[in-house]
Amino acid sequence: MDLAQHPFLEIIWSFFIIFVWVAWFWLLISIAIDIFRRHDISGGLKAVWLIFIVFVPFLGVLVYVLTQSKSMQERAAAEATQQKQAMDDYIRATATTSGGAATEIAQAKALRDDGTITEEEFNAIKAKALAAS
């Protein structure tokens, strides 16, 4: 039996070819996204890069990766940091606005300890907060 005609090797070769195509398209899409997200170049230069990548793909991708790889990484890191900061701000804002019963009871306890409210008022606030949760 000829080893080159073995069906298993044909399947492995097919998987390899599919993997290479998926990686190629992933690279093209990543570069296109990076070009559109750039703020340091004008629209005309963005169009030139896109035309270069679409009409001369292998050379265009190679040139873009060789010349812009460091700034691509810096832009990706900055974008990730910005998204993390936005998520942290959202979580912080949500957590402080809806503190729940524990926050209300802690605020009422601080008022009671300061002498602003009486023990009966504290118990009423506490009962109301626990009933609401």
What pLDDT digit, counting tens, does each position of 96-107 carry? 655 677 888 888
Residues 15 and 50 placed together within one structural domain of the fold: yes
Residue 93: which pLDDT band, with cuts at 50, 70 and 90? confident
Which pLDDT does position 44 carry in this prediction?
A: 94
User: Total structural domains in the chain?
Assistant: 2
Query: In terms of DSSP H, where are the helices of the chain?
Result: 7-37, 43-55, 57-97, 101-114, 119-132
- Alpha-carbon span 16 to 22, nearest angstrom: 10
Tokens of 52: 């270069």
Query: Is 103 contained in some domain?
Result: yes
pLDDT in tens, 10-67: 899 999 999 999 999 999 999 999 999 998 899 999 999 999 999 999 999 999 999 9
Final residue in a domain of this structure, among 30, 55, 72 = 72
Residues 18 and 61 both lie in one domain: yes
Q: What's the pLDDT at 2?
A: 60
Residue 125 covered by a domain: yes
Q: Can you give the pLDDT at residue 33? A: 93
DSSP 4: G
Structural domain including 108 reads 99-133
Q: Is 94 part of a structural domain of the chain?
A: no
Average pLDDT over residues 86-94: 86
**Pair (65, 109) in one structural domain:** no
Cβ-in-10-Å burial (0-12, 13-18, 19+) of 55 comes to exposed
